Chains A and B, each alone.
Chain A
Amino acid sequence: MKDSSSSISQKLDALYEFDRERVHENSLHGVGKFLGVYAGEHIAGTEYVIGPLFVAHGVTAGDFFLGLLLGNMLAVLSWAFVTAPIAVRTRLTLYWHLRKIAGPKLTALYSIVNAVMFCFLAGSMISVSATAIGLPFNMTMPTLSDVYPNSIVWVVVVLLVGSAVTVLAILGFEKISKFSSIASPWMILVFIAGAIAVLPTLGVKSVGDLWNVANEKIWTGIPFEGQTKFTFWHVLFFSWFCNLAMHLGMADMSLLRFAKKWQYGFASAAGMFLGHFVAWLSSSVLCAAAARSVAPGPIAYMGAGIAGAVSVVIAGWTTANPTLYRAGLAFQVATPDWKRWKVTLVAGIVTTLAAVFPALMMKLLDFVALYGLLLMPMGAVIVADYWLLPRLGLKSQYAESRSIGFSWPALIAWLGTLVAAFALPYEIFFIALPGWFIAVILFVVLSAIQQKRSLIPSEGSPS
């Protein structure tokens, strides 16, 4: 009888079977497809929380705009120069490429960690939707310092939203994905319209007032009570790394492998600037107009009325659903005899219970930073394996060539990076960058040690 880790990796292989092959030339997409996907993916319910959290942390207007501009540019460059070149050369998903480097068992472990993080991410989106559903019931909204549920109505609303999201994820998320693509152009306009409509409330009478109001009433530079002060560097690193798992963590290999050219990585600018930049800016303005409330439902209603509240529900729901579906898919490997619906149901219950705690939404910046950090080292391993090992005379994709199930250099690079990063005397927003280099160095050194006895001549640099 095979051990349980073998069984898990075989299950994962079966689930991703249809992705095993390299993408065929006929299946490649033009740049328009990527512009649309990135613009749609980065207008989520959580955007309604991130802008207000920057305001709550006392960011100044100058730091906000400059930090977002540079941070988003660095994110786009990461997609274009790190993720896309490997994606279009290998044309494989992250799962199948990592499997060659880290081995099937370690890749299975990585997938499960990913699934747990997906559950918490979906949970924060359910919390966001609940703040809008609760509006007609005069629900007491959670505040920045709330860790536990503040009322029974909150608990009931979250359970209802979570149940609905779970049932829809069980029924299949294809139709919801289609609905999500329909909603995206409308949603970004709701963000913009809401922010424009509240400008008179903030004292804007002409375009000339905008900068003064931005400094004096929106991004005042003074943190809310009990909140730490954020600087330009916080904004820059957060906006760069809030999708860390996707770019430097290489998860978007699965998307960009369909790109005709690596330059399509620049299409991520649609998500970073049309999505993040505009949405965070708009939700910051709404937060200031709503007397510095950070609950997404009320602030969206204040700017756009019923349409605003509906947009919060849709934004949270359409992003929570595929996230929960993917979590269920990944968890299924650990429960071999369970049907997909049963696994998704369990993932949904975990997600909904997590969503009951408003801390998940109110500490979203920290959670997003942690999510990226946990998955990033494997991205660094992929980069080191692809570009550095052949140039150093070492063998790429060593685990596959030697049928190794659990690559210890990759495991130590992953865990060692996390230990080293958390030992650094910096806030969580700043440790991912040194962490990426630590992961690269660890993997290269450990691979050299692993391969020392059986050095295989390099077959030349990658094409």
Chain B
Amino acid sequence: MKTILNIGAALGLILTIVPSVLVATGELQWQTHANLMTAGMILWFVAMTLQSRKRTER
């Protein structure tokens, strides 16, 4: 579970930063980048909140 949450959090951050670079290089539309950033945000907060809850339980 911990590994899955770590992967989810890392993926969240990747989705936050990488699409913007692709927009800057002209390989991605702005709207797609914005959607991916929203997905990254949800992924990050869900993974980190669950991780934090698990840590508190322990």
Interface of A toward B, CB cutoff 8 Å: 178, 182-183, 185-186, 189-190, 192-194, 196-197, 199-200, 204, 304-308, 310
Query: Which residues on A sit within 8 Å (CB–CB) of B45?
Result: 182-183, 186
Tally of A-B Cβ pairs under 8 angstroms? 64
Complex: chain B residue closest to A201, CB-CB: B30
- What is the CA–CA distance of A305 and B39 in the complex, to the nearest angstrom? 11
- What is the CA–CA distance of A183 and B47 in the complex, to the nearest angstrom? 12
Query: Which residues on A sit within 8 Å (CB–CB) of B38?
Result: 305-307
Q: Looking at the complex, which one of B20, B31, B41 makes contact with A194 (CB distance below 8 Å)?
A: B20
B49 touches A307 (CB 8 A): no
B37 touches A190 (CB 8 A): yes
Interface of B toward A, CB cutoff 8 Å: 12-13, 16-17, 19-21, 23-24, 26, 30-31, 33-35, 37-38, 40-41, 44-45, 48-49, 52
B16 touches A197 (CB 8 A): no
Complex: chain A residue closest to B48, CB-CB: A182
Complex: chain A residue closest to B44, CB-CB: A186
Query: Which residues on A sit within 8 Å (CB–CB) of B37?
Result: 190, 193, 304-308
15 additional A-B pairs beyond A305-B33, A305-B38, beta carbons within 8 Å, are: A182-B52, A185-B13, A189-B16, A190-B16, A193-B20, A196-B21, A197-B30, A200-B23, A200-B24, A200-B26, A304-B20, A305-B31, A305-B37, A307-B16, A307-B41
Query: Which residues on B sit within 8 Å (CB–CB) of A192?
Result: 17, 20
B20 touches A186 (CB 8 A): no
Most chain A CB inside 10 Å of its own CB: which residue of B20, B35, B45: B20
Top 10 nearest A-B pairs by Cβ distance?
Answer: A305-B34, A193-B20, A307-B37, A197-B20, A196-B20, A182-B48, A197-B23, A307-B41, A189-B16, A306-B38
B13 touches A189 (CB 8 A): yes
Q: How far is the CB of A288 from chain B (nearest CB, A)?
A: 15
Report if A186-B24 is in contact (Cβ < 8 Å); known contacts: A193-B16, A305-B35. Answer: no
- What is the CA–CA distance of A196 and B37 in the complex, to the nearest angstrom? 13
Interface of B is mostly: helix
- What is the CA–CA distance of A128 and B54 in the complex, to the nearest angstrom? 33
A204 touches B13 (CB 8 A): no
Q: How far is the CB of A190 from chain B (nearest CB, A)?
A: 6
A199 touches B24 (CB 8 A): yes
Q: How far is the CB of A186 from chain B (nearest CB, A)?
A: 5
7 contacts between A and B (CB under 8 A): A182-B49, A186-B45, A197-B30, A200-B23, A304-B20, A306-B34, A307-B34
- What is the CA–CA distance of A304 and B33 in the complex, to the nearest angstrom? 8
- What is the CA–CA distance of A118 and B35 in the complex, to the nearest angstrom? 36
Q: Looking at the complex, which one of A204, A304, A305 makes contact with B24 (CB distance below 8 Å)?
A: A204
Complex: chain B residue closest to A195, CB-CB: B20
Query: Which residues on A sit within 8 Å (CB–CB) of B33?
Result: 193, 197, 305
Report if A193-B41 is in contact (Cβ < 8 Å); known contacts: A182-B48, A199-B24. Answer: no
Q: Looking at the complex, which one of A185, A193, A308 makes contact with B19 (CB distance below 8 Å)?
A: A193
A310 touches B19 (CB 8 A): no
- What is the CA–CA distance of A178 and B20 in the complex, to the nearest angstrom? 28
Most chain A CB inside 10 Å of its own CB: which residue of B19, B21, B23, B52: B23
Q: Looking at the complex, which one of A186, A197, A200, A204 makes contact with B41 (CB distance below 8 Å)?
A: A186
Q: How far is the CB of B9 from chain A (nearest CB, A)?
A: 9
- What is the CA–CA distance of A192 and B20 in the complex, to the nearest angstrom? 9
Q: Looking at the complex, which one of B13, B23, B30, B34 makes contact with A186 (CB distance below 8 Å)?
A: B13
